A and B are shown apart, each in its own frame.
Chain A
Amino acid sequence: MKSTILDVTARLLLPWLFFTSLFILYRGHNLPGGGFIGGLVGASGFILLVMGPGLEAAKRALRVDPFSLIGVGLLLAVLSGIGGVFMGNAFMAGLWLPTFSLPLLGTVHLGTPLIFDIGVYLVVMGFTLAMIFSLSEADS
């Protein structure tokens, strides 16, 4: 059954859900949130598209293949660990930029754990979407 309300809402919600997911990802280091939940929220926007306008619209909006997201995410997570090795420390040892202030975000403290979390974000998002896409392909 086609529902115009769902179609329109899904398209409207997609960018908001996406930016919310980025915010959840960013605040996750010391507060509730992080790559895993962020990835799920990010994926939910595209899942809404699948349920409303359909699979093709969701794939077009995502632009990349979900499997590539998994690959790139894993690669990022691994690379975030190598920094420590080059500094003569253990694998996965955190490296941090000096803190600085930004409007809206307040004190910003960036380091390799964030890169790891971005990796997790991409893996979770890619994995969820790969699953949902192939399920809805089998459906149609």
Chain B
Amino acid sequence: MNNLILLPVFIPFVAAIIGLIFRTLPVQRTLGLIGMAAATISAILLLNVVMEQDYLVLSLGAWQAPFGIVLVADLLSAIMVLISCIMGILVMLFSVQSVDNARQKTFYYPLYSMLIMGVNGAFLTGDIFNLYVWFEVMLIASFVLISLGADRAQLEGAFKYMVLNLVSSLLFLAGAGLLYAKVGTLNMADIALKLAIQPDSFLINSTAILFLISFGVKAAIFPFFFWLPASYHTPPTAISAIFAGLLTKVGVYTLMRSFTLFFNQSFEFLQDILLILAALTMLTGVLGAAAQYNIRRILSFHIISQIGYMIMGLALLTPLALAGTVFYLVHHIIVKTNLFLVGGVIEKVKGTGELSKIGGLYRALPFLALLFFIPAFSLGGIPPLSGFWAKFALVKASIDAEVFWITAVSLIVGVMTLFSMTKIWAEAFWKDAPEETENKVEPKTLKLMYAPIAIMVLMTLYLGLFGQGMFEVAERAADQLLNPEGYIQAVIPQSTEAISKL
């Protein structure tokens, strides 16, 4: 049996439970860290196995698909689980020093473990209702985390975040209900099979739009993005960093999964919508960022514009475009989390993230400047950093597909992203400090905050300089997405005959 696939979900859960029973901070913290480390190791093993066997399927409770709930790991899932576990452990390390003790004591570590469990579950599940459950696990943990400590500003942000995400969950449930009423199954592979045998464009298109809106809210694409900049700058940095890195990407992942598996036959209709949304998402994100003067707000808007690139890759739906999207996802998760963490160090040392009130950090904290420089310019797409290769693949794919206007948009947005990053660089690091402010904490004591950032910078450098291996894996993942027969066959072995008739 393939119980291995369960471990990235199971281990954080057990760590969270034991933390609930022994309610002291040292226990919760140690367990949380050990749990995340163990989950990361299991995710590495999982990726290794999936690289060899292509698909790994586990029928929970030994109830065979399509009746029971299955967990399925293909390459995309395995890559996403691994990256979420790595970010999980690094940001958790960061939060040991950065999150204040009062917040840490209110179940911070168990909640954090539950959040990672929900994210991993959403990546691995092969059942559409189960996906809804994982969304809820993730959301409930994130609702508590985002409002932990109950600042006034924080609660306002949390409220917007919560209402919009609940609406999106409802829309998703409506879409899943529509599908279930028509095809009578919740298993994702089985739905794909039934839709392939009996295409029903009316059902497919209406469900597709419901899913697009619902996952679009979670991924923060245009015009559903406004909850994100309203809430991501309010909680402690560690929390907004892990949200920024992972949560919107779950939305992107589910969009990729559902559009390649269910809706691939009526894709012409959806393609134009997706392309236009992608372009608008890129533009609004980057323009919104230009107007902001708070580090975390600027970075929040950039999440949106970067999501646009991933949607663009999905909309093009060529092997190169999808491979580019997978590579982009990995690159973006690392770089974005990294930038939020650097912003967190600045806020910790200077007490604020307002660009007008800080300056001279290049002289004061040269090492931090380096740690900011690399991910920031990777995000801007400067060769040879990872962002360049991700953007290069997508731009080339759009030229190959002869959709030149989106090429133009993506290039313009790339330049504007660079402008935003230079703005932070010039304001926070380069210009003279407005007044000589004392450091709130001695930067040398923040070793546990620097270490995760440095590791992420090394990962960015590695992806940039030796990205070939990662790109090959991304190409294989894209190949799997474009040929959903393999996925269906892995989940429902008896479907071979039905597939061959198609």
Contacts and interface: CB of A to CB of B under 8 A. Distances in A.
B102 interface: no
Interface in A71-94: 71-72, 74-75, 78, 84-85, 88-94
Interface in A32-62: none
B23 A67 contact: yes
Interface in A88-138: 88-94
Contact of A92 (B14, B18, B20, B61): B61
A4 B374 CA distance: 72
Contact of A71 (B3, B6, B17, B62): B17
Contacts of A9: none
Interface string B53-66: 00000111110000
B17 A75 contact: yes
B1 interface: yes
Contacts of A20: none
Contacts, number: 48
Given A78-B13, A85-B3, A90 B18 contact: no
A75 B58 contact: no
A15 B361 CA distance: 67
B181 interface: no
Of the four ranges (under 10, 10 to 19, 20 to 34, 35 or more), the interface on chain A belongs to 10 to 19
A90 B13 contact: no
Interface residues of B, number: 16
B14 A88 contact: no
Contacts of A68: 20-21
A91 B20 contact: no
Nearest to B13: A78
- Main secondary structure, interface of A, reads helix
In this complex, which of A88, A89, A91 has the most chain B Cβ atoms within 10 angstroms of its Cβ?
A: A91
A9 B18 CA distance: 37
Given A67-B20, A74-B20, A75-B18, A89 B13 contact: no
Question: Which of B6, B13, B14, B61 counts the most chain A CB atoms within 10 A?
Answer: B61
A92 B17 contact: no
B17 A78 contact: yes
B17 A91 contact: no
A75 B110 CA distance: 13
A88 B1 contact: yes
A90 B20 contact: no
Contacts of A70: 20
A133 to B, nearest CB: 15
Nearest to B9: A91
Interface string B17-51: 11011010000000000000000000000000000
Give the 10 A-B residue pairs with the shortest CB-CB distance, closest first: A71-B21, A71-B20, A92-B61, A93-B62, A90-B62, A74-B17, A92-B60, A75-B17, A90-B1, A91-B6
Interface of B: 1, 3, 6, 10, 13-14, 17-18, 20-21, 23, 58-62
Given A78-B13, A91-B3, 7 more contacts: A67-B20, A71-B17, A74-B13, A78-B10, A89-B1, A89-B62, A94-B62
